[in-house]
Amino acid sequence: MENNIFILSGGQGEGKTTRLGELLPLLEESGIRTAGFVAKGSWEGGMRSGFTLADIQGSVEKTLCTTQVTDGWIALGRFYFDPEVILWGEQMLQQGILNRADLFVMDEMGKFELSGNVWHPIFDSLLRNNKSLLVTVRSDFITQFIEKYTLENVQIFTTDDDLEQIVNRIRTALK
């Protein structure tokens, strides 16, 4: 069995997470069992100020990272990440393995993962275990992302692509 990797791409602040939120119910309606999370960004003064992690149903949200110095959190670039929320995100994906999810969803893969941080370990583990993944990646990181993880069988979608066509392409690939 090989991985199916689906990337939803766009520029910073161009609606990748919003589009993913529109796509997830359609995937579920089409019979695709999903597991994972979305990372909703917050902005302050025209700059990204943090992310809130939410389960894909959106029923629970927790602060993943902020630009404010926070004791006990992991400093990466100008952000501070809550290690407990990173663990919570990993647990959502592990639960998906137990529940035999068809598709693992990880929102906002980028420079931190490219440098081996945040979601890198769990993403790498899912790849090694031949899981199918739907991830959001900024368009300026796609080439590096594909090369770092030596991804094959990749389908790239943009935030402008038709949702029904995306669902059909994912459903066809997962058969």
Q: pLDDT tens-digit profile of 117-159?
A: 999 999 999 999 999 999 999 999 999 999 999 998 899 999 9
Q: Indicate the CATH number for domain 5-39+82-174.
A: 3.40.50.300
Percent of the chain with pLDDT over 90: 83
- Whether the predicted pLDDT of 73 surpasses 90: yes
- Whether the predicted pLDDT of 1 surpasses 60: no
- Whether the predicted pLDDT of 103 surpasses 70: yes
Q: What DSSP string runs through 137-175?
A: EEGGGHHHHHHHTT--SEEEEETTS-HHHHHHHHHHHH-
pLDDT band of residue 38 (cuts 50, 70, 90) is very high
